[in-house]
Amino acid sequence: MYALRRREALKEAGITHVVSVLRLPLDKELFVQYQHKIVEVDDAENENLLEHFADTNKFISDALKSGGAVLIHCAMGKSRSATVLTAYLMASRRLAPHLALGIIKRVRPFVEPNSGFMQQLELYYQMEFAENIEDHPSYQRWVYLRDVEMSNAAGRAPERIHFRDARAEIGRITGVKEDETPEEKSGMQLKCKKCRIVLANSASFTPHMPKPAQPPHSETPKPPCAHHFVEPLLWMKTELSKGEISGKLECPKCKSKVGAYAWQGLKCSCGDWIVPGISMARGKVDEVSLKS
């Protein structure tokens, strides 16, 4: 903010465009001679700055192509403005976040995007700097998990639920393929033990996987995890859309109980706490390998 009032310094630097990354009242007279873009966000970990990257990148790029120079500022020039510049360097030079941020730190060593913004920069890199992020499966999952986190803090069920198999269909249509996890590569299906309908496959598993009955090199056998944890699936939509904090999951065909859900999380028998907790009881499903 202090730099905006240093007219002579800005003139000497050839500044023609200004990006303001903050949610504060601004004196319009400070920007009379510049092309100005405002991104209204606070320096908070739960702010979505990622959704603005495409617009700020284009604004900066157009300014430079026209022979101009850009001042990117927030309040202290440490977190928000550094994040916007890092995103531009990443996209324009195809750099990983730490490399792009390193370029900035050479001339401004104390810049430090908050942890939430750093996660968004990592996601932006994983999405290969996609311009239309709204349709990207990885972005949609990130937004869904944010909604779950905020809903849990408010003690209610999320208003928007992102179903994993719907996301897979969007990815097929848009041609965006997410990296496979080891669980997805394993090719496993979970079938209702009673009627044998397929309830889930390994593409919908959360990172937690039931641990084996006996760890390697252990003489004391341990019971396996009692549940498989999965992401929301379309056959659960009727139950999950009720707005309840927790409940039971029934097989869509035979109506037998196959699992449970709790948006605030469930504790697995192995001790892991999974949020959100959407589980299939191991005793209610059969595990079927799709690969020999």
Domains 2-130 and 182-289 agree in fold: no
For 162, the token pair is 């992102």
**Residue in 74, 192, 225, 268 annotated catalytic:** 74
- The pLDDT assigned to 214 comes to 55
Domain 2-130 is in which class? alpha beta
Whether 103 contacts 82, CB under 8 Å:
no
Measured distance CA(261)–CA(271) in Å, rounded? 17
Structure confidence by residue, pLDDT tens digits, 33-52: 999 999 999 999 999 999 99
Whether 64 contacts 89, CB under 8 Å:
no
182-289: what fold? 2.170.150
- The pLDDT assigned to 165 comes to 82
Measured distance CA(74)–CA(93) in Å, rounded? 23
Domain extent listing, the chain:
2-130, 182-289
Beta bridge partners of 242: none
- The pLDDT assigned to 144 comes to 87
DSSP-based three-state secondary structure for 89: helix
Structure confidence by residue, pLDDT tens digits, 221-250: 667 788 899 999 999 999 999 999 999 999
Answer whether residue 213 shows pLDDT above 60: no
Q: Where are the alpha helices (DSSP H) in the chain?
A: 7-12, 53-65, 80-93, 97-105, 115-126, 137-154, 164-174, 182-186, 237-240
Structure confidence by residue, pLDDT tens digits, 70-95: 999 999 999 999 999 999 999 999 99
Q: Is 225 a catalytic residue?
A: no
- The model carries a pTM of 0.72
